[in-house]
Amino acid sequence: MLLAVEEAPPAGGAALDQVLIAFAAFAAIYIPLGIFLLRERDGKPTVIGRLADRVSAVDGLPRWAGLPSYLALVSLISCAFGVYWDVPIHMQNGRDEGPLANPSHFPIMFGIFFFLAAGVISAGLAKDPLPRRTVRLTPKWRVPMGTLVLLGAGMIAAAGFPADDVWHRLFGQDVTEWGPTHVMMIGGAVTCILAVPLLLAEAAQVGRPAARRWTWIGGLATGGLRLFGRILPPVRREAPEAVLADRAAWSTRLFMTIVIGICIIPVGFLMEFDLGVPQFPAATMFIISGFLTAWIFTAGRLFFGPGGALVTWLTYLGVRVLIYAITLPVPDIHRAHWLLFLGPALCIELLALVVRNRGPVFAAVGGLLAGGAGLATEWWWMDVFMPYPLPPDAQQMPLMLTVGAIAGAGGGLLGWSFARHLERIADLPEASAPLREGMAVTGRWAGTAGTLAFIVLMAVFAPPGSAGEVEVVKDCAGDECRTTYQPVEGTGVIMGQVSYDDDCIGTDGCLTRVTVRTDEDKVEDAVWISALAYQGRHRTSGDVPGDGMLSVAMEATGREGEYRSAEPLPIYGNWKVLIRLHLAPTTMVSIPVHMPADTAIDGPASGLVQVDDGTDAAFVHEPFMLQRERKPDVPVWLWTTMYGVVIASWLVLLAFYGWLYAAAAGASGVPARSEKAPAS
């Protein structure tokens, strides 16, 4: 007996009432902000201005730096809470009824609205003292460069919210984390943090450095450096007693290094790997990991001196623990695990002990080691802590570590440029800086070259490849329709014969181990072969998890080309079950063993998918399965145009960030500008 499943949620855009609610929320925040801007620029008192003054009295930062930075951080935490709640429940439950039908969307929405608001507030509060380099908005209104980072990140993220609904209407729902409009929202959120170190550096430039009043922080820094200096002569050489006298200056340096560590938050793009359902090739995990760790740990080591890479690593660990902790109150969701990244930090610290020069070559070599040898140490951690199907098969280590090392070299160059820019912008006391040979050399394009290396690697390795072509066939008998995927002859489709331990397919509560037999030559070099059961919508029976998701290994049986699921799989109801095969470098294909009929989507893919016992089935290009809601008849030119618009907007924004940092650093030695408040 085939089971009837509950009515599917809509697969298109949001209902009008939800659009209006989102617009009302936006207006409720930004109309008062507009009034604040007008009053503040006229020199009239405002509630936000008074709050900024109180915050400034506590932390010593200019009003345009302190309150906006803290608001951006709180907003980022709100977004993280929402995203790490939202992505798992999509994996477990499927689509939403609409953008506001899911409570996890509210912290995301308000987080995005408020870090854009942080940029608006910073711009409104931008009055004397201002840093040397500013951008003129009107003849009498100049804003710091860090303010523009907040505004740029906030605008692309805020634009992503309505763009997501438009995308769903044009192309159908995209449930992947790296969907174009999702990258707009998540990318804006994770890059807004780049405003904070820039704002802090600009604050230090005008004589209001962060944490200068909290000398106990400087005591931790100088005490640690003295201790390790007694043990390790290279540490003592780089941080001699003479540079450790000013505890206030070291308070600022340590505080800013911690903020640099928070800038590793784009690691959130690895969330699907962290949850055990990667939708993109394994190489991308190593590219992103190598680039981010090399960038942040190198920058931390160069900016702080000995131990700086470890300070930023501890900050990363704190960020991951915080993200895990804030989702604990939410019941029945998958918790994201994380890569350890201790190996990359140690590689950079060890290299710094044996190499004195701190120029771009040091940064590139340190990044190369971090992305290669450093990530090699992650293999055991993946096996112990990360959800299956990680780690990839060990025979794929050369490829994975090679791309990780190249990305790491690029990240190291960006880290060198990042630390150098912050140092030049902040004008921290030279007498209280670690001794670093080579930091003053010309390397104008080092960061750009490193970023371009990362972009090229992602362009090559991120798009999932297919193995052959299939034809989607839908056959209906009355109200019941079945969908099958038929191989197109001569295109190289990989086939697998599917069999089950139990004769219960399609009946309520069917739990059975699945066996797939295929050509050994096709799968012997697999990065992984695994089974994924997902979107079970809390239907539990016996050992089936009530959270709606199960990811298990496909284990070799000893017969050539034959693999059997390590645990029974739920082949019934709302469960979607795939046998996933990932071949290096980018091929990702799956056999859809079971998928319920989905009347909310268009096209031949909407019928019940159910592979009968002993049947040969095609390994289908995996995005077709994981993004089943895609509309089938959208013209290629429209796909190309819309992807091009999103990619171009991101490239422009990244270039804008780079220009802001470079311009602020390039103004070293130029007299500061003054922007006084009008008389009230």
Residue type, 83: V
Judged by average pLDDT, the poorest of 72-76, 291-295, 549-553 is 549-553
As given in the structure block, the two tokens for residue 549 are: 């998701």
Looking at the predicted structure, is the pLDDT value of residue 645 above 60? Answer: yes
Compute the mean pLDDT over every residue in the chain, rounded to the nearest whole number.
90
Q: How far is CA 187 from CA 192, 193, 449, in A?
A: 8, 11, 21
Instruction: Report the C-alpha gap between 485 and 192 in whole angstroms.
Output: 43
Burial degree of 431 (CB within 10 A; 0-12, 13-18, 19+): exposed
7 in Cβ contact with 16 (< 8 Å): no
Cβ neighbours of residue 159 under 8 Å, at least 6 residues apart? 184
* pLDDT tens-digit readout, 242-255: 999 999 999 999 99
User: What band does 501 get if pLDDT is binned at 50, 70 and 90?
Assistant: very high
Among 383-392, 583-592, 652-661, whose mean pLDDT is lowest? 383-392
Mean pLDDT, range 39-57, rounded to an integer: 93
Residue given tokens 């989607």 in the structure block: 472
Please state which of the ranges 53-57, 367-371, 672-676 shows the lowest mean pLDDT: 672-676
The encoded tokens of residue 97 equal 């009824």
List the Cα angle 301/293/177 in 5-degree steps. Answer: 150
Q: In whole angstroms, give the CA distance from residue 641 to residue 226.
A: 58
Query: What mean pLDDT is predicted for residues 541-566?
Result: 83
Average pLDDT (25-53) is 91
> Does residue 670 carry a pLDDT above 70?
no
Instruction: Count CB-CB contacts under 10 A for residue 624.
Output: 18
Please check the confidence at residue 610 and state whether its pLDDT lies above 70: yes
Q: Which of 61-70, 404-413, 450-459, 470-479 has the lowest mean pLDDT?
A: 470-479
pLDDT digits (tens, 9 = 90+) for 136-151: 999 899 999 999 999 9
- pLDDT value for 677: 45
**658: burial class by Cβ within 10 Å (0-12, 13-18, 19+)?**
middle
Burial of 619 (0-12, 13-18, 19+ CB in 10 A): buried
Q: Which of 411, 309, 413, 415 is nearest to 361 (CA)?
A: 413
Sign of CA dihedral 378, 380, 381, 383: positive
- Residue 391 reports pLDDT greater than 80: no
| pLDDT digits 0-9 by tens, 202-252 | 999 999 999 988 999 999 999 999 999 999 999 999 999 999 999 999 999
Predicted pLDDT of residue 678: 42
Total-model pTM? 0.94
Element (H, E) at 288: helix 282-304
Q: What per-residue confidence (pLDDT) applies to 542?
A: 53
Would you place residue 10 in the very low, low, confident or very high pLDDT band (cuts 50, 70, 90)?
low
Checking DSSP bridges between strand 526-534 and strand 549-556, what pairing results, if any?
A: antiparallel
DSSP state for residue 373 in the 8-state scheme: I
Task: Reply yes or no on whether the pLDDT at 591 is more than 50.
Answer: yes
Mean pLDDT of 75-94: 92
pLDDT value of residue 599: 86
CA angle 287, 153, 44 (to 5 degrees): 155
**What is the percentage of the chain residues whose pLDDT exceeds 90?**
71
